[in-house]
Amino acid sequence: MEKPPTPPIIGGGNMSKPPIPPKPTTVVPPVTPEHDHILESMKEKMRMRFNQQAKEIENLESAISLLKTQVFQEDNDQVRNLLIPISQQLDEILKLKVDESENLKLVPPFQTSYQPSRYMASQATVEKPYSYAQAVKGDDDIPSRPQPQPVQLAKTLSFEERKKKKDSQLQQSKKHRLILKPSDKKALSLLSNPKFVYSLRNELNQCFLSDDIMSESDNKSPVVATIGTSFMGTSIVVTTTSGFTADFLIRNEEKWRQMVEGKLQTEVLLEKDEKWGKFVLHNVPMDIFDGDEGLIMLQHEIEDYNPPIQLREPPKWLNSYDARRERGVGSVVVTTSSPEQAKVSKIRIAAMQLNVFEYKDMRPAIKKSQIQCKKCQRWGHFPAACRRPISCAICAQNHETREHSCTVCSKIGVACPHSLLKCSNCKEKHIANAKECPFYPKSSGQAEDVFSSNTVEELSTETQEKNLKRRASKVDRTPGSSPSKSKPRKRMVPMKAVEIIIPNCE
């Protein structure tokens, strides 16, 4: 049986199989502006949530810091025992909040693009036309929408990191500050005149412009930026520009010191704005280190036999001369060049070894309303910020208190029985810091007076009589007084909350 004839091949050569038509393609519709709005709304919600977490962590850190400070300063043991568990609970809450915040950072909310619904995808299913060339290529190049980049959120700093950053900025600013301490405090009043400060700054910069210590590029930039007084109004603060430091002013002090002292009409002591350290030494022998020369010798003893300690100034006695003379020894406070040098346990002086004790400033905190200006005698501000005329605290005349003089006894700077007292605040016959003055801050406790303990030597006869009457009213009655008029006295037993009332024996 013969085979059927093979059909002729058209076109010659090998013929491949016909291409298989591709399946219908599901086309994702492009994202519309409405979808972008939904995506942006999602991003904004995540940002608000993250910022709220950061704010909660910051508030908890502040509350924990205040609570730990209160625990440290609390004198009542019962209250302290109640505060310690609360502080521990807040630490646990802060730890949970920080962990929650870290987990929130790991979620990539901004990498999720909007996906259309199934209904929209089904409506987009179409039979796309294709050609032979597209079929041979195997796939269509459908442009895809680029994915949005993740948003970099600002890192939330912890309390320790913020404190460290603030301290670093403070140290950088201190490098540009130079402290001038005038020997005559009267020179500080000159800085209350803006024209004088402006002229002093320009002349100070002029001292460097004509000198060959700087290059031509440096000559075009000024050295000193500002001149003012310290917060307490006891010294002058000179701040340099960013291109110079306080060390530059100290190295070249011979070029400008004479000009500044001539303008201020007094000598000045230069000091860098650095943090010092202090400690206390007890049982320092008085017969060796008594007097100013003895304290200078004590400074050399500490520096020579206790390297690398360097003192900023000679030590100062903490107790009075009579107390030192009675015991033969005394206590001194030592000021070092840095806080690290004060962290020692023992000091060797005068062939013996003394223990070092921590220095604690026990002076009561003074509010702004308790401060009396030494210039105008009003309350509530420092002399450096005063713009009022000078007034004497004794006679209210237009001169400083230290310049007050008596024509009878020739005493200067003090109130005597011959002084015509007048208060510059209430215009009554008493000194400006008298407690009977209606302007005296009676409700604020202790106030900083304009006089020291040895300035006002004597008061008027009227004031002395008032003081005697006030003291007499506080003296207890004598045993011969009438028992019917005396009130029963109370005696408090120490270390116990018990009152023992002693009745009258009639």
Q: Which residues neighbour 253 within 8 Å (Cβ) at sequence distance 6 or greater?
A: 270
The answer to whether the CB of 321 falls within 8 A of the CB of 298 is no
Q: How many beta carbons lie within 10 A of that of residue 1, not counting itself?
A: 2
Pairing relation of β-strands 268-272 and 177-182?
A: antiparallel
AA identity, residue 234:
T
Q: What is the pLDDT of residue 481?
A: 44
Q: How far apart are CA 158 and CA 164, in angstroms?
A: 10
The two structure tokens encoding residue 147: 């994915």
The two structure tokens encoding residue 131: 């050609």
Q: Express each pLDDT in 125-168 by its tens digit.
A: 444 444 545 545 554 444 444 555 555 555 667 778 888 888 88
Question: Residue ranges of the chain with pLDDT lower than 50?
Answer: 9-14, 109-130, 132, 135, 139-145, 216-217, 444-446, 448-462, 464, 474-506
Q: Express each pLDDT in 458-467 by its tens digit.
A: 344 445 455 5
Q: What is the pLDDT of residue 458?
A: 38
Q: What is the pLDDT of residue 237?
A: 92
The answer to whether the CB of 380 falls within 8 A of the CB of 369 is yes
Beta bridge partners of 280: 333, 357
Helix (H) or strand (E) segment spanning residue 502:
none
- Starting at the edge strand found earlier in the chain, the sheet holding 329-336 runs 316-317, 329-336, 277-285, 352-358, 346-349
Q: Express each pLDDT in 309-335 by its tens digit.
A: 999 889 999 988 888 989 999 999 999
Q: What is the pLDDT of residue 107?
A: 53
Alpha-carbon torsion angle 96, 99, 103, 104, nearest 10: 70
Beta bridge partners of 448: 371
Burial class (CB in 10 A: 0-12, 13-18, 19+), 475: exposed
Helical ranges in 210-285 per DSSP H:
216-219, 246-251, 257-264
Q: How far apart are CA 79 and CA 68, in angstroms?
A: 13
Q: How far apart are CA 377 and CA 426, in angstroms?
A: 11
Q: What does pTM read for this prediction?
A: 0.43
Q: What is the pLDDT of residue 349?
A: 94
